[in-house]
Amino acid sequence: MEKFEGYVFAALCSTNFLVSCLIFSKVTREQREPYMDEIFHVPQAQKYCQGKFSEWDPMITTPPGLYLASVGVIKPVVWLADLTGNVVCSTAMLRFINLLFNCGNLYLIYLLLCKLHPREKTRTASRRILSALSLSIFPVLYFFNFLYYTDAGSTFFILCLPHDALRLPQSRGAPRRLLRALSPDQHHLAGILRRHSGGRQNGRGLAGGAYQKEGGEVSSLPGAAVAVLQAAWPYAAVAGGFLAFIVWNDGIVVGDRTSHEACLNFPQIFYFFCFSFFLSFPVSLWYQRVIRFLQALRKQPLLFLLLTVVSLLLVWKFTHVHKYLLADNRHYPFYVWKNLFRRHELIRFLLITVYIFAGWNFLDSFRSRSLFWTLAFLSCLLASTVPQKLLEFRYFIVPYLMYRLHMPLPSMPRLVAEFLLYAAVNAATIYVFIAKTFRWPDSADTQRFMW
């Protein structure tokens, strides 16, 4: 069964790559020159291809990982095929690197689904495969596979980290600790807590500070604390290194800081909940969940009243609007803000009821997860979204994938509905990008709509 599943998955990977190559060819023929942020990324990567690693465009706000990865792939091609750097470091070739990352993302997503849902391995393989295929064409991420943006590559390396953390057994060996240091993953710490708190109690219970595990080993709460500290020091080292970088760099932003200022934009978490609800409703929403929400409203009215009041305050005092959001009509968020939030001042407050339901639906998807895991996930989610002043759907890619990966595997009909939704959204956005061009009055350049 596993061998057959592998063959099917390999066939779908090949089909996915072929379809992506056809779309890539069409997009590249229509937009040959660098577009939008590519006007910064492509020249910088070409400098790296020429060996000019000391030259840097100060307008670029991301680390050079994509450029280094591109050189690592392209340079061997130059040497083996005896080509010139100008040929293989063209805009089209640089964009093609993201198609390779797309294949890697599909593979990593599939492996993570197998690791995160071990109880599902005895069931049909089609749910695992279709779920991985569906997430690999997640609309926002999939669109940027055809341009030289950083999203495909950064997602690939981020997905590598939890995969390594889940795959490696607990060990004190330096190589594995190093990998874990590069891979902060709450599953590791949660597993330690389970091993030090589970099993048959020896009569004294947790209150007594010790208990008997199934193998006869006596553990204790102090022992659990020591084990957590031993496992957590690599994570603390990563956090310390990050803080040191902020001090050394005099801020978190690399490059142009005037347009990337950190702030407390708490409504970003509400936007993310709505974004996640829209793109996950085929697999996350059903009749019983709506009934549970209504029952929760009836049983805990004070809690929901408190949530409403807090949300009102956060929307009122902490809503920030970036200048790009109001000025750049090439991005979809521009039209979301223009046609929804700017209709009337009260709209942003009236939407709080939608935020609360979307947030409740989001959290209810994690009912099978531990409280520790849920709090860790929410902490990371807040840290990655709230400081962003700009409403940009690309910032939601990784949080959404982690959310979707950790949900219980949906049924086959729901997965088919999710896949069709993603395929339809991708078809629409790519068609609009290619066919619905326009020009600004003060520019002769062709403009295109995109995420």
Average pLDDT over residues 211-224: 49
Instruction: Work out whether the CA dihedral 227, 228, 231, 232 comes out positive or negative.
Output: negative
Average pLDDT over residues 172-179: 39
- Tens digits of residue pLDDT in 367-407: 888 888 899 899 999 999 999 999 999 999 999 999 999 99
Please state the φ and ψ torsions of residue 450, each to the nearest 5 degrees: -160, 170
Residues 6+ apart with CB under 8 A from 205: 211
Predicted pLDDT of residue 236: 78
- How far apart CA 229 and CA 196 sit, in angstroms, is 13
3-class DSSP state of 213: coil
Q: Where are the domains of the chain?
A: 2-167, 257-410
- Do 89 and 95 meet the contact criterion of CB atoms below 8 Å apart? no
- Tens digits of residue pLDDT in 328-377: 999 999 999 999 999 999 999 999 999 999 999 999 998 888 888 899 89
Question: What's the burial of 74, exposed, middle or buried (CB within 10 Å: 0-12/13-18/19+)?
Answer: buried
H or E element at residue 133: helix 125-136
Task: Please count the CA atoms within 13 angstroms of the CA of 167 that sit on its side-chain side.
Answer: 14
Closest among 427, 273, 249 to 355, alpha carbons compared: 273
pTM: 0.84
